[in-house]
Amino acid sequence: MHKDKKHLISNKLSIKMNLQNIKKQNFLSPLNQSKTLVLQSDSGQKNHTDSDLDVMDQIETQEPPLYKVLILNDDYTPMDFVVYVLKTFFKHDDISAEKIMMDVHKQGSGVAGIYTFEIAETKSMQVNQFAKSNKYPLKSTVEEEA
């Protein structure tokens, strides 16, 4: 145990010395100092100062478009299976899953969830594969949110 304690103290000293060397090399300088950032691109290097980066921070970004995952009605898939799918793949509680299932049954389709395109497409594919593997014709589609 005595060796472990010496080893631990030795490691702490080593870390402290490395930290001092880093500070000497000015790697840990304050963030408010003006620095030049060099970015490498295919056309060569371009230098950006802090003021250029401030302008870049001011550029507005747009939210990605959202897409609905619709569950489509069919005459063969049991209502309990649709509720199970809504609870499993879309994390609905019992009440909301039953309401969506009734929309599917009465209106021909129901919105299971609204997501970005990649997530909506993945969930729709998972539902379709799960239904097929359980020998049900249940289908889901993806539609852009209006």
Kindly report, residue by residue over 27-84, the tens digit of the pLDDT. 444 444 444 444 444 555 555 555 555 655 667 888 999 999 999 999 999 999 999 9
Percent of the chain topping pLDDT 70: 60
- pLDDT band of residue 9 (cuts 50, 70, 90) is low
Among 3.40.50.300, 3.40.50.2300, 3.30.1390.10, 3.90.79.10, name the CATH number for the domain at 66-144: 3.30.1390.10
Q: By the 8 A CB rule, do 130 and 90 touch?
A: no
Residue 2 has pLDDT above 50, yes or no: yes
Higher pLDDT, 57 or 137: 137
Angle between helices 79-90 and 94-107 (to 10 degrees): 130
Can you tell me the distance from the alpha carbon of 47 to that of 75, in angstroms, rounded to the nearest whole number?
Answer: 64
The burial class, CB within 10 Å (0-12 / 13-18 / 19+), for 128 is middle
Q: Is the pTM of this model over 0.75?
A: no
Q: Spell out the domain ranges in the chain.
A: 2-58, 66-144
